[in-house]
Amino acid sequence: MSMKAVLWRPMYDPGGHDLLRAAGIEPVVVDSPDAEQVKAALGNANALWVRTPERVTAEIMDAAPGLTVISTSGFGTDNIDIPAATERGILVVNHLGFGRTPVAEHTVMLLLACLKQLTWGDRAARDGSAWSQRQGLQVYELEGRTVGIVGLGYIGSELAKKLRLAFSCRVLAFDPYVNARLALVTGVEMCPDLHAMLGQCDALAMAAELTDETRNMIGAAELAALPEGAVVVNAARGQLIDLNALDGALKSGHIRAAGLDVVFPEPLPADHALLKNPKVIFTPHTAGVTQEASKALAISAAEQITTALKGEMPPFPLNPEVWDSPQSRRPT
């Protein structure tokens, strides 16, 4: 096999690059946000791997007449125009369940950091101001709290398990598409109405995919539905929460604190109000990129690309109907 895979940004772990080379597929890295550079590299490419937040549009696909497969960098697929890929006979794959542990752990970390005022404590201990400000400091326990989760898929269910078993939390969840068996196994109380769930939550954690239905699903009305003093964390997708509404709810004091691993756009403009808000704890979209997960995701992507370029169906296709369609680019 002598083929070419364009990697829009390097894979999370070089083991993925090595695996492609071992299969006779030359990885070509485009480490730039410039779509024109990607289009230029795709002219004779057989595969494309893309790392969020870069977006694969129909125009980019049209620059690659020999493109057989596109791989995401993780589970999320909102940065690829899947209908356009299907129309062109291009298979799209993702990596189901690989990020469940690191993202769930990161979400718990954000919850604890908000409740314990971690970033204030670090800064104040370093500059010495902590010792005069500790009196009356408002820090809280996660133990026994009611936490609402939006989205009870792989990550949401893992988060629910950790909250219940490690912190004895009461866990509520809103997910109209949840598998009823999964909810039963995780011991979660499902709520058919989002606003009814929000009114019971000491903390809200986002674990939903980004779709037209979930975009900005947490806005001013939803934040107002949370009890005063609630905490909001998001390690899913930045566009799930209206950030301007969140800033307003934090400034009014209705929301106690927020922990954000994801925002939109990434990065936020330097003058964005949330960046100046001391009630917000940020991490730079690193929830899913532990060393363990990074290697597993890179290997999964390389293996699925290799499988597709051999003319075989990879394990995690998003549009499998393409494979046997008249327009399919499946190698023969």
> What are the structural domains, with CATH classification, of the chain?
3-98+291-322 (3.40.50.720), 100-282 (3.40.50.720)
19-34 per-position pLDDT tens digit = 999 999 999 999 999 9
| Host H or E run for residue 6 | strand 3-8
Catalytic residue (one of 36, 59, 213, 266):
266
Is the pLDDT at 18 greater than 90, yes or no? yes
- Percent of the residues in the chain that have a pLDDT greater than 90, as a whole number: 89
Is the bond preceding residue 320 a cis peptide, omega within 30 degrees?
no
The pLDDT-based confidence of 198 (bands split at 50, 70, 90) is very high
pLDDT at 1: 54
Is the pLDDT at 114 greater than 80, yes or no? yes
Is the pLDDT at 52 greater than 70, yes or no? yes
Mean pLDDT of 181-196: 92
Of the ranges 124-133, 161-170, 188-197, 316-325, which one carries the lowest mean pLDDT score? 124-133
Report yes or no: 88 and 61 within 8 Å, Cβ to Cβ: yes
pLDDT at 171: 98
DSSP alpha helix (H) spans, the chain: 14-22, 35-41, 58-62, 82-87, 100-116, 118-127, 130-133, 154-167, 180-186, 194-198, 220-225, 243-252, 291-309
Extract the tokens encoding 218.
């947490």
SS3 state at 234: strand
321 catalytic? Reply is no
pTM over 0.85: yes
pLDDT at 300: 97
pLDDT at 141: 98
Identify the CA nearest to 249 among candidates 290, 221, 282, 209: 221
What is the greatest pairwise CA distance in the chain?
73
Mean pLDDT of 45-63: 96
Is the pLDDT at 97 greater than 90, yes or no? no
Mean per-residue pLDDT of the chain: 95
Catalytic residue (one of 106, 285, 329, 330):
285
Extract the tokens encoding 268.
């936020």
Catalytic residue (one of 237, 256, 329, 330):
237
pLDDT at 51: 93
Report yes or no: 66 and 43 within 8 Å, Cβ to Cβ: no
The pLDDT-based confidence of 65 (bands split at 50, 70, 90) is very high
pLDDT at 79: 93
Is the pLDDT at 210 greater than 60, yes or no? yes
